[in-house]
Structure 1
Amino acid sequence: MRRFYRVGPAGVHRPAPTPTTPETTDGRAHTILELLTPLQQTNSGCALIVCNTVAEAQATHDLLSTAWSTADDPPLVRILHARMPARQCTAVTRRLQRWTGPRGKRPARPFVIISTQVAEQSFDVDFDLVISDLAPLALLLQRAGRGHRHPRTDRPGWAPTGCPRLAVLTPTGQLPPPAWGDIYPASLLRRSRELLTSLDTSTINVPGDVQHLIDQVYGPEFAADDDTTRIAEDARRTVTAHLTSITPPASVRDLHPLTNTDEHPDKISTRLGTDSIRVLPTYRTPDGRHWLHPSHHNQRTALPQHVGAADRHTIRRLMNATIPVNSQWLDQTDPATAPPANWSAVPGLRDLALLPQPVSRTTVRPYRGRGRLILLNLTNGIVRS
Structure 2
Amino acid sequence: MLYFCSTGRLPFVGRNPHHLLKLLLGGEYPDPLRLHPAIGAELAAIMQKALARDPADRYQSAAEMSASLREFLSEMGIDDPDETLARYLKAPTKVTAELRETSLERLIAIGAQASNSGDVPKAQAALSRALAIDDGNEKALKLLGSLGRRRRRGAMIAAALVAAALIGLASWVYSAWSSAPLPEELARRSDERPTPDDTKPSMVEELPGEVEETEETEVAQGASDERSVEPEEAAANGRRWVVFKPTPPNVSISVDGAPPKAYGPGFQKIRLKVGTHTFRFVGAEECCEERVLRRRIPPGARDYELVVKLKYEPARLYLKGPAPANASVRITLPGNQRVSGRIREILRIPMRSLRASAQVEISAPGYRTHKSVVKLRAGGDPTEHSFSLEREGETP
**Does TM-score exceed 0.5, indicating one fold?**
no
| Structure number having the greater helix percentage | 2
Structure-1-length-normalised TM-score: 0.21
Structure-2-length-normalised TM-score: 0.21
Larger RCO (alpha carbons 8 Å, 6+ apart): 1
| Structure number having the greater strand percentage | 2
